[in-house]
Chain A
Amino acid sequence: MLSKLLRAKTPNVIRSARGGPDNTRSIAKNRLNAALSRDRYDLLGPVRSGRRDSLERDLYAAISSHLEVDSEFHELEIRRLNDSFYLVASVRIQAMLPWAPAG
């Protein structure tokens, strides 16, 4: 019982010191998600400073002509699935613009 209490207590101290409810497992997972995405992004081509920024800019320009969106992406990651890499981008929509048929 005592060991159980101690065990339960220690992580809470660490959690509160970190300022959030997350346990260290989810902290590790979130950190890895970001690190792997960054690594994969860099490996897709020659590493150039500002490459990610320019992709964000171009994507934002393309999307914002159709939708009113936040200027900052909520998520912009390279993920691996079934031996292929996928660009996963998500951005918060502020409002839909009126739809007009092409031409």
Chain B
Amino acid sequence: MSEIRLGGKGKTTGNPSVCSERDSRITTAAIPPSKTIVVTSGKGGVGKTTTTANIGAGLALRGHRVVVMDTDIGLRNLDVVMGLENRIVYDLVDAIEGRCKLNQAMIRDRHQQELYLIPAAQTRDKNCINPEQLTDLCRRLEEDFDYIIIDCPAGIEQGFRNAIGPAQEAIVVTTPEVSAIRDADRVIGLLEAAELQHPRLIINRIRPGMVKRGDMLDKDDIVELLAVDVLGLVPADDRLITATNQGVPVIHDRKAPSGQAFARIAARIDGDDVPLMDLEPKSNLMNRVRYLMGINRSEYTHA
């Protein structure tokens, strides 16, 4: 395979390392095909952006070259979740409309050399790009990266259509609440209609104590309702909020249960046969005391 240059012929100006390290790898024989994965939900506020950031970081931690792409044009947030908001010069729309080379719109992560962000434009709207343009851009990225993770906007309108256009796989994020599950069902139907078969589900913000008391839907209830495979279970976790406050994906916090859940999800995406997280409420007195004193920030144990 010939040398790959992003953004056209000749030397590129944005992130030179984008090309050089990969060039040696693409000459090897058995390179798995790139995967473009859309993270969607229908309902807003269920954790799509956090999930995208952590899956991207998780796959990069496993040694893959990864791009995370924010397609929520006009309402971008993936940049702040990853702590890269001050590094944006060009964005997705600039790259699509030719105002910059593709690699100039790519921002290298602060923590991982092999993780890049393509931010959404903040001053445009979802109608300024179309699925074909985004598909073309992703096909170019696939030549140089192992995974492209697309953060889909909420809703099922143009932004959703743009985001699912290039995807080869879909991940649906939901929370154990009636409104999120209803919207997830609608989105799963639309994904299947768009020939993105077998979307996988991430159930976010599970509160095992509430599940145990019979006041929250559990994994089996949701699987029965939506009839899709579960990719991962993520517990509600204070540490995720404090990590996001600092612009650091929680997967970098080894003590965070949610971070460990995202590490498992990344492994499963990568083909490892990792069991789902076992969320069990802490029942002994010491654990409850620790939680109340702020020593442990979650109310449950995990496998």
Contact = CB atoms under 8 A, between A and B. Distances in A.
Interface stretch (A46-54, A59-67, A74-82, A90-98): A74-82
Interface of B, helix, strand, loop or mixed by DSSP: helix
Contacts of B214: 11, 23-26
Interface in A14-51: 23-26, 28-29, 31-33, 35-36, 39-40, 43
A83 B221 contact: no
Q: Bin the interface of chain A by size.
A: 20 to 34
Interface string B177-190: 11001100110110
A15 to B, nearest CB: 10
Contacts, number: 54
B197 A31 contact: no
A83 B225 contact: no
A23 B217 CA distance: 10
B97 to A, nearest CB: 35
B89 interface: no
A36 B215 contact: no
B9 interface: no
Interface in B211-233: 211, 213-218, 221, 225-227
B197 A36 contact: no
Contacts of A33: 225
Contacts of B124: none
A25 B182 contact: no
A39 B192 contact: no
B302 interface: no
A36 B211 contact: no
Contacts of A24: 214-216
Contacts of B211: 25
